[in-house]
């Protein structure tokens, strides 16, 4: 995955060097690569070679990285550290961080348009993948969730708002990663349905687990300030259901997600392993 | 044009309302709509109905507006006013402005993916349009130019750097608007070549004229602080060639651009009128 991203992105000394250095700083700062792995695993679950959808996998990581760069900005979450590394704006300044995020988003769409035509069988698959990515990343997806989260800060959280924030801020992009892997592999309607349900439950389980880890984790293991979400009065599951209640919900969602994969058979085994990892992880 | 944008964008009270209000604030703040008009005029020059490429025209305006919102941020140009209106971050705050810009960029790609299939004849045209837009807007285009401009601030400007900034910061997107109108209309290679040359010269003429207006314009007519570029030591044509020398260059470029339109015949007349307007405008 890192090799593919390394090949896809311009060298850091490419003009203007500050832009490409800033983009690379954040892309290669120890991410788990969950979203691109989901693209590859979904493609394999639908009988496609992982390599054929690699540009789309890179695209998902570019979108995710852009969102982290902008989230960390002083005007947003104002985080100086992420995964134990100084954030993009701390190293390159705010202006370069805004632009590096902007460029990573643009590049994501360029990458999907570049998926070899053989992978999708026809151009329609790539167009559908672009539509899915735009809907999941934009105002009706990730950015909408981020905005709702900011507006909700310091306010009383109720369950519908909390669910909107969670499903949109992280859930939609995770679900889109799976569907994009599917549509680029010529998946049938029932295969896409399975990926869609699995993606929805996985996304929510992932966010709940993240919230739990934010509460119980330790500074050293997370590589970022722990407990900052609740310190800012952010809407979280543990705040509503407590740590144990939240863990139980995440496990239930994981089981439902795994069950949904049945139509995909044995080839979906990596997706099952991923679901278990996501709710059991400790970082 | 405004009607199409109004229909395309969600209502401003759509949840989360702050996001959609911020997006609409900047999209409907008196822009000249140059880029979308170029998409429509290029399509007509290639024998296509303007209405068929309207979503792509809206997409270009979304990309342009997103770039203005982010450019105006305190971390970037720190402008409080644009076209006589308070800028997005002044009205909605920095976080909302970052997100509104992000969402407008994403939406642009969604819009092109949505152009009716009948317009492009096949999906290939839409994919090609997405590639053109991404390349023109991203690190090798507009964002690259913006970064180079920031790095150059306060430094000695030389002509190669100045040309890089101008062709990338504004030129590439203007050229892409024309090529997108072309590829979505099934343009021939020679038609695309004509649009490409016209677009390149027009983009540069536009930027030179902008620089000149920035020097000689008046606060009231521009609706933004005049002379701010040179105050910040920014790389501009008038700084290198003076006002009259710059005007002459802009006119020469316009003539070359008009000449390039010859293969398109009579249907390219609106593009010729636009070229003259662009170098003669006073706002």
**pLDDT tens string A236-255:** 788 778 889 999 999 999 99
Residue of A273, A265, A230, A210 whose CA lies nearest to A38: A273
**pLDDT tens string B196-211:** 999 999 999 998 898 8
Residues 198-237 of A with CB under 8 A from B: none
Can you tell me which residue has the tokens 């960390």?
A72
Work out the number of other CB atoms within 10 angstroms of the CB of residue A216: 13
- Bridge partners (DSSP) of residue A81 are A86
Query: In chain A, pLDDT over 70 holds for what percent of residues?
Result: 90
Q: How far apart are CA A162 and CA A180, in angstroms?
A: 26
Nearest to B113 among A75, A131, A139 (CB): A131
Residues of A in contact with B98 (CB under 8 A): 70, 73, 75-76, 98
Contacts of the segment A69-73: beta carbons below 8 A, 24+ positions apart: A69/A26, A69/A97, A69/A100, A69/A101, A69/A104, A70/A97, A70/A98, A70/A101, A70/B98, A70/B99, A70/B102, A71/A146, A72/A97, A73/A97, A73/A98, A73/B75, A73/B98
Taking the CA atoms of residue A258, residue A259, residue A261 and residue A263 in that order, the dihedral angle to the nearest 10 degrees is 160
- What integer is the mean pLDDT of A97-116? 94
Residues of B in contact with A113 (CB under 8 A): 127, 130-131, 134
* Domains of chain A listed by start with CATH number: 2-280 (1.10.600.10)
Q: How far apart are CA A272 and CA A274, in angstroms?
A: 5
Q: Residue B184: phi, psi to the nearest 5?
A: -75, -10
- What integer is the mean pLDDT of B139-168? 89
- What integer is the mean pLDDT of B109-136? 84
Which pLDDT does position B219 carry in this prediction?
A: 45
**Is 70 exceeded by the pLDDT of residue A156?**
yes
**Is 80 exceeded by the pLDDT of residue B120?**
no
**Is 90 exceeded by the pLDDT of residue A5?**
yes
- What integer is the mean pLDDT of A86-104? 98
Q: Taking phi first (over 0 means left), then psi (-120 to 50 degrees means alpha), and beta for anything else, what does residue B15 get?
A: beta
CB-based contact (8 Å) between B270 and chain A? no
- Bridge partners (DSSP) of residue A85 are A82
Predicted confidence band at B58 (pLDDT cuts at 50, 70, 90)?
very high
Which value does ipTM take for this structure? 0.92
**pLDDT tens string B219-244:** 445 555 555 555 455 667 887 788 89
- What integer is the mean pLDDT of B152-174? 87
Is A76 in contact with B96 (Cβ distance < 8 A)? no
Residues 64-83 of A with CB under 8 A from B: 66, 70, 73, 75-76
Q: Following DSSP, what letter does each residue of A156-213 receive, concatenated?
A: PP-HHHHHHHHIIIIIHHHHHHHHHHHHTTT--HHHHHHHHHHHHHHHHHHHHHHHHH
Q: How far apart are CA A132 and CA A192, in angstroms?
A: 12
Which pLDDT does position B54 carry in this prediction?
A: 96
**pLDDT tens string A15-65:** 999 999 999 999 999 889 999 999 999 999 999 999 999 999 999 999 999
Which pLDDT does position A221 carry in this prediction?
A: 56
Per-residue tokens: A118: 């053989």
């Amino acid at each position: 995955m890192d090799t593919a991203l390394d090949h896809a992105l311009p060298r850091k000394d490419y003009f203007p060097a500050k832009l490409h250095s800033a983009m690379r700083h954040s892309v290669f700062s120890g991410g788990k690569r969950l979203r691109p792995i989901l693209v590859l695993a979904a493609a394999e679950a639908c009988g496609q070679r992982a390599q054929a959808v690699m540009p789309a996998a890179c695209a998902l990581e570019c979108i995710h990285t852009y969102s982290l760069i902008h989230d960390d900005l002083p005007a947003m979450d104002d985080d100086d550290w992420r995964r134990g590394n100084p954030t993009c704006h701390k190293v390159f300044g705010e202006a370069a961080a805004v632009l590096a995020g902007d460029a990573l988003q643009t590049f994501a769409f360029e990458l999907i348009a570049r998926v070899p035509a053989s992978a999708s069988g026809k151009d329609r698959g790539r167009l559908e993948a672009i539509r899915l990515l735009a809907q999941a990343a934009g105002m009706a997806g990730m950015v909408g969730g981020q905005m709702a989260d900011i507006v909700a800060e310091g306010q009383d959280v109720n369950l519908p708002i909390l669910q909107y924030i969670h499903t949109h801020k992280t859930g939609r992009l995770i679900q889109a990663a799976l569907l994009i892997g599917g549509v680029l592999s010529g998946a049938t309607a029932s295969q896409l349905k399975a990926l869609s349900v699995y993606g929805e439950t996985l996304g929510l389980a992932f966010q709940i687990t993240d919230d739990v880890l934010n509460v119980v984790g330790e500074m050293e293991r997370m590589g970022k300030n722990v407990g900052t979400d609740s310190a800012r009065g952010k809407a979280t599951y543990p705040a509503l259901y407590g740590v144990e209640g939240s863990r139980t919900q995440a496990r239930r969602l994981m089981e439902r997600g795994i069950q949904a994969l049945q139509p995909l058979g044995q080839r979906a085994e990596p997706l099952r392993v991923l679901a278990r990892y996501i709710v059991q992880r400790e970082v």
